[in-house]
Amino acid sequence: MSFSSFTKNELSRIPIKNKCCAKAELAAIVRMNGIIQINGKNRMSLKFATENAAIARRIFSLLKAMYNTDVDVMVRRNKQLKKNNNYLIVVRNTRSTKKILEDIGLIRTNGDDYFQVDYKIPQDIINKRCCKRSFIRGAFLGGGSISNPEKTYHLEFVTTNEEHGKELSDLINSFGLSSKIVLRKENFVIYLKEGEQIVDLLNIMGAHLALLKLEDIRVLKDVRNNINRIVNCETANLSKTIDASLRQIENIEYIDRIMGLEKLPKNLSDLAYLRLEHRDASLKELGAMLNPPVGKSGVNHRFRRIEEIADNLKKERGS
């Protein structure tokens, strides 16, 4: 099961406690996923299609709880590539359909044979904080998705209406979030990309199990990233130490071939012999072996003097 399906299944199991929140959730689902079908002059039906059985049950429960009307549920089995079944939820009664659409503010009727669709979110549906949360939850169930947090942080809502998209984005941002909206083909996509903000939105919608699961993944990813940074840093430092050691040994061996290490000042020759004996030792370790001991900066300074001597010899010999 994908993380998106896991989240939607959890949201679909949230108890329907009061009618105002049920109305707000249904209003969002209809705007995101509802299909108004006109059959003849005076007949109208409302349809929903989904591959998620939990969402199908949720829509059915909301309709029955709010309107107690006849609701047909049809299952179309998809045998190709073992895909999920398709669920179709239909309200066929024209009077019930009009009642639902008028209650959620999606249509304004003018007589029996004329109506106007309005995607604007009515303020009376979302005037309470709990109803705002329910509307966002319904929007996610109807047209939302969330990526696998193991790979990336991305949560989005897809709607075909620009005005509705902007209002939904504003509603999400009223909770202190910073969702953005972008046009993708013919759809308007409201999205969040920051892990912390996605966690906050899951909490707003009531997906607490998904929230905990995402937080566990975030912690593991942070630990993994920190370990990788430490390993990369140590690897880089080790590479620098090895490169510096090879360069120091090369300079020392060149000086030994051309003039002999014994002709170096004693403090430099002592360090040169130590480096040849302990090729993998760090500057700090070499400094501790000297008598008297010398700090890391002092050892580094002596190696710079050895390098200058080697460079001068190369210049004199034209090599």
In a domain, 211, yes or no: no
Q: 228 with 191, same domain?
A: no
Same domain for 109 and 188, yes or no, is yes
Residue 238 clears pLDDT 90, i.e. is over it: no
Residue that is last in its domain, among 147, 182, 206: 206
Average pLDDT, the chain: 89
Calpha distance 275→288 (Å, rounded): 12
| Average pLDDT score over residue span 144-164 | 93
Is residue 226 assigned to a domain?
yes
Judgement on whether residues 249 and 113 belong to the same structural domain of the protein: no
Q: Categorize the per-residue pLDDT at 213 as very low, low, confident or very high, splitting at 50, 70 and 90.
A: very high
Taking only the tens place, the pLDDT of each residue in 260-301 is: 888 899 999 999 898 899 888 888 888 899 989 989 899 999
**Considering only CA atoms, which of 59, 62, 93 is closest in space to residue 73?**
59
Domain extent at residue 240: 221-317
Among candidate residues 206, 233, 262, the one where a domain is terminated: 206
Instruction: Judge whether residue 112 has pLDDT over 60.
Output: no
- Shared domain for 233 and 170, answered yes or no, is no
Q: pTM value? A: 0.72
Give the CATH number of the domain where residue 144 resides.
Answer: 3.10.28.10
Q: How many domains does the chain have?
A: 2
Residue 113: per-residue pLDDT? 60
Q: What is the pLDDT of residue 30?
A: 94
Of the residues 171, 206, 241, the one at which a domain ends = 206
pLDDT band at 140 (very low <50, low <70, confident <90, very high): very high
Q: Indicate the residue type of 81.
A: L
> Token pair of 13, please?
């199991």
Residue 215: inside a domain = no
Structural domain includes residue 152: yes
SS (H, E, C) 166-222: HHHHHHHHCCCCCCEEEEECCEEEEEECCHHHHHHHHHHHCCHHHHHHHHHHHHHHH
Considering the domain architecture, whether residues 188 and 242 belong to the same structural domain is answered as no
Does residue 214 lie within any of the structural domains? no
For 273, list phi and psi in degrees, rounded to 5.
Answer: -65, -40
Question: Are 159 and 44 members of one domain?
Answer: yes
Examine the pLDDT at 15 and tell me if it is beyond 80: yes
Whether residue 136 is found in the same domain as residue 197: yes
If asked whether residues 178 and 232 sit together in one domain, one would say no
Whether the per-residue pLDDT at 80 is higher than 90: the answer is no
